[in-house]
Every structure is written in C-alpha cells, then in structure tokens.
Amino acid sequence: MKHATVLAMIAAAVSATPAAAEFVSNPVTDYQVSIFRTEGGSHDFQGWIRLLNGTADAGYIYIQNGLPLTPRLGSTKYVVIDIPVSMLGDTLDMLRSGKPVFITYRDVDGQFPSAFLHVGSDALPLEEQSAFIAQTFKAPAAAFTAAP
C-alpha cells in the first residue's frame, strides 16, 4: 500500500495558554467531497472533505494551497485538519481503500496539537505519534510523550 499508517498529519505549535490534554478518535464510515472555486475570492481554499461516522460529523479536511491552520476540534468533537492540494489524491485513495479509517486529534496541554487520518486501530500508539511529530519538527520525542 502506498500510504503508511499515518497518511495525513498536521502538527503546529500554538502560542495559546496551555490547556488540559485532549484526545479524540472518530471512526470514518463515509465521506463527501466538495471542490470549491469562486471568482474574486481566495484562491488558497480549494474545497473540503466531510468525514462521517454514520450521519454524524467525524471530521473535516480542508484542501488548501496556503499554509495549513492548526488542527482543531469542532463544537461536537469532530476533527478539523488542512491538507495541501498535492495530498488530495492519496487522501481519497486512503478513504476509498482503507478500512477501518479513523481521524484522531491529540493535544497535550495546548502545546503541539496534531491530527492524523489513519487506517487500522482507532488509537495510534503514543510512541508512534511522538516519534513522527519529533521527526517532523526536529524536536526530542520526549517533548511529546505526555499521556493524552
């Protein structure tokens, strides 16, 4: 399979006051794709993928040309991430062929929120998440190992 366990991972440092640790993992049973263009509007925003768990929102993946925003949770604990247009094909392949699919959000005390779209277990091992984030941001893995 072309994708690893983690296909889409967006992580960013935030300058907010540290909050309590938060961990949400939502199963994805279906999805809807909307491609968006408007005359005179922002050309960075290209559309979105609505991820569903039954009829409830599991997450939204916003397709952007610009810099991604920090991963976040919606009002009903759905996960929101941004991906570049270049990842759209791989993301759709994963949604079509991967079972089960989950979208997971993790924030340890408001420091480096991260979101993962992944196939397999509903909870990626903490060590795997921490190692991936550490490699991406060239930081020691110990900085990301607080329990969710």
Q: What is the mean pLDDT of the chain?
A: 74
pLDDT of residue 113: 86
Q: Is 135 helix (H, G, I), strand (E, B) or coil?
A: helix
pLDDT interval class at 76 (50, 70, 90): very high
Domain boundaries, the chain: 6-144
Average pLDDT, integer, range 102-131: 75
CA angle 122, 109, 57 (to 5 degrees): 40
* Residues 22-31: tens digit of each pLDDT: 889 999 999 9
Q: Who contacts 67 (Cβ-Cβ below 8 Å, separation ≥6)?
A: none
pTM metric for this prediction: 0.68
Identify which of 8, 137, 11 has the alpha carbon closest to the alpha carbon of residue 72. Answer: 11
pLDDT of residue 125: 57
* Res 145 pLDDT > 90: no
Query: How, if at all, do strands 56-64 and 72-73 pair?
Result: unpaired
* Residues 47-67: tens digit of each pLDDT: 899 999 999 999 999 998 877
